[in-house]
Amino acid sequence: MDLKDLYRDVIVDHNRHPRNYREMPDADRHADGHNPLCGDKLTVYVKLDGDRIRDVSFHGSGCAISVASASLLTESVKGKTVAEAERLYATMHALLTKDDAQIDLPSLGKLAALSGVREFPARVKCASLCWHTLEAALHRQDVPVSTE
């Protein structure tokens, strides 16, 4: 287990300088996520143009892994269709939780930096929180997402 696998440069950078970190009062969809274990709390906002995610942002507080994961999420789903975002959600879920997942890492771009999280079971929920929250926002779930 090498800590550098978890805190890769991309992660550290996105934690220090989270992208699309803002509230979005005119969002079409939003959902709250909460990781009670470490107190991560975030809201994911989505603005839709038909079936396409025109804008996405997040706001809240959390550890480096949860903040970086959310920041990377916003960069990667902006411009995608809802269906494409859902497929990415499934891929990320597999990347974070399945040891034997067959995933084409280069196709994930910067998101591949999260592949090291799997080696740190206590931190998987930190990385997956924003993805579950995005999924809830896209499905208009009113109940806040909890990773517990």
Residues that bind another protein (CB under 8 A): 1, 3, 6-7, 12, 15, 36-41, 61-65, 120, 122-123, 126
Q: Say which amino acid occupies 55.
A: D
Dihedral class, residue 78 (left if φ above 0, else alpha if ψ from -120 to 50, else beta): beta
Q: How far is the CB of 124 from another protein (least distance, A)?
A: 12
Q: How far is the CB of 61 from another protein (least distance, A)?
A: 6
Whose Cβ is closer to another protein: residue 91's or residue 97's? Answer: 97
Q: How far is the CB of 63 from another protein (least distance, A)?
A: 4
Q: How far is the CB of 39 from another protein (least distance, A)?
A: 3
- What residue has token string 């696998």? 5
Q: How far is the CB of 26 from another protein (least distance, A)?
A: 27
Whose Cβ is closer to another protein: residue 68's or residue 77's? Answer: 68
Whose Cβ is closer to another protein: residue 23's or residue 49's? Answer: 23
Whose Cβ is closer to another protein: residue 53's or residue 130's? Answer: 130
Whose Cβ is closer to another protein: residue 1's or residue 143's? Answer: 1
The three-state DSSP-derived secondary structure of 64-126 is HHHHHHHHHHHHHHCCCEHHHHHHHHHHHHHHHHCCCCCCCHHHHHHHHHHHHHHHCHHHHHH
Number of C-alpha atoms within 13 angstroms, CB side, residue 128? 23
| Closest to 62 in 3D by CA, of 129, 147, 141 | 129
